[in-house]
Structure 1
């Protein structure tokens, strides 16, 4: 591997682990972020922080100049600011790919398992658009498709539990979902970035646990000393929320529509090639392990926002 590694989205859950893991190896890492204050936890040897909004093509091209590898861990569904899947996951990634081509760098693009042009999830459609653009760009690349991040959902459910220790589930919560620890994904991305012979193509990775949100909520409640059933927001209420306040607050509207889709569509990881078959030493972190690490007080287990 030659040249520095540029990580866009390096202040988030996945990006933080990738940045710190690479820096610990002595790799020079440049973190792109709209707000340098969000990168305070990344202060370490071999880490440089550059202010950059991937939605702006000019500044992105300048920030990526001299890179050997560009890792895109950006997401616009629920991140800070006014981004969206179309402006961040599609357009922002296109700008990163264009910048990588100009720099002669290869790209590691974080995507989602199930990305497709006709997906009911806007995020999945925009990730697929970025994948398609990357494939046509001629830039050497590896796409990493991951299932639902376990730490995110544990933190969300724990955050809604309150004094009752009853997490709040949007919808029926009966749809099976494959959950994956961000730690496992970071280990895969780090391997892809540093390996002497880049893998290329598309790697899909899933976790050891397939659960409903209700199942996960029960486990979160039990880990905090609770034993009662989680609370639920009925689907009709979610439809009303999306059609009313969701129009005034687009971010909330996107999240509400995503919750409705999560309650219905296939989010399992059955009969699909798993990157673990190629990278056999990857960690395989379970829900039980993460909840045990959080402890009975239910501390947040995420490393960043």
Structure 2
């Protein structure tokens, strides 16, 4: 049986569907079982649990041969933060997998590093480090930014004008990846023991800019020919600076947007293969 934590999210849903289609027994761990309604037609068991609370994780992982973590805490209410979910939550889940004798597949992020300027990347790196030292058989899947996530965000901000909001100048190439490609890699890692002890990198076929994604959305809406709206970099810097004063999803999003707009976010396949 394969347990998928975060199995009701964008990535987790596709992983659960792929596992079920392959005839694999699958269990979904979610904070709110009502969020698994779209999986009702699948032969998947749904259990309530929160990776931030280790008390319920032994029951969730009981009988599992593989635990897949598709959770993230980049944005959310209350105590949902990269520290509480991507680091501490994954540590709790890894320890539960260790006690259950299960292998572990961690969905991480391309560029994860202890000294990264964005908290999410640092917390993913901390989870990776704990997994590598845990003694649990492991696979790490490092994915680039999900194309569909950013297309959805642009659609949501287009409003009545049909002009999406781009954070920053929007002309910096980014290694976006279709979420289906990441789901395929995670599913393969969960079902193939030969993938243990490997770090897998998943990226799209080409790097794209936010302005290019905005143009795609405007093409869908029939509002092409007009430029998207932009949030200037100084505004992003001011918002990102508030992260030092208090935890804020908006501050985290501004910091991530500034990074995507000002640094090299292209995917280097040769460099990744050399790791």
Q: TM tier, shorter chain?
A: over 0.9
Q: CA deviation at 1:150?
A: 0.4
Rounded to whole Å, the distance in 1 between the matches of 2:17 and 2:90 is 22
Contact 1:247 1:253 in 2 (8 A): no
Structure 1: gaps of 5 or more residues: 276-305
1:251–1:27 CA distance, 2 compared to 1 (3 A): same
Work out which of the residue numbers 225, 229, 232 in structure 2 matches 1:231. 229
Considering only aligned residues, what root-mean-square deviation do their CA atoms show, in Å?
1.9
Deviation at 1:129, TM superposition (A): 0.4
Q: How does 1:103-142 map to 2 (within 5 A)?
A: 103-142=100-139
Corresponding position: 1:62 with 2:59: yes
Residue 251 of structure 1: aligned partner: 249
Q: Note the 1:165-176 alignment, pairs <5 A.
A: 165-176=162-173
TM-score by length of 1: 0.84
Distance 2:221 2:196 in 1: 41
CA shift digits 1:96-116 (9 cap, x unpaired): 110010000000100011111
**SS at structure 2 position matched to 1:210:** coil
Q: Return the alpha-carbon distance in structure 1 between the equivalents of residues 148 and 79 of structure 2.
A: 23
Deviation string, structure 1 residues 168-227 (Cα, Å, up to 9, x no partner): 001111221011000111111111222253443101111012111112111221222112
- Structure 2 residue 156 is the aligned partner of structure 1 residue 156: no
Cα distance change, pair 247–161 in 1 and its aligned pair in 2 (3 A): farther
Aligned length: 272
Aligned equivalents of 2:49 and 2:184: distance in 1? Answer: 25
Which string of whole-angstrom CA distances, capped at 9 and with x for unpartnered residues, describes residues 63-83 of structure 1? Answer: 112110000000000245531
Q: What is the TM-score with the length of structure 2 in the denominator?
A: 0.93
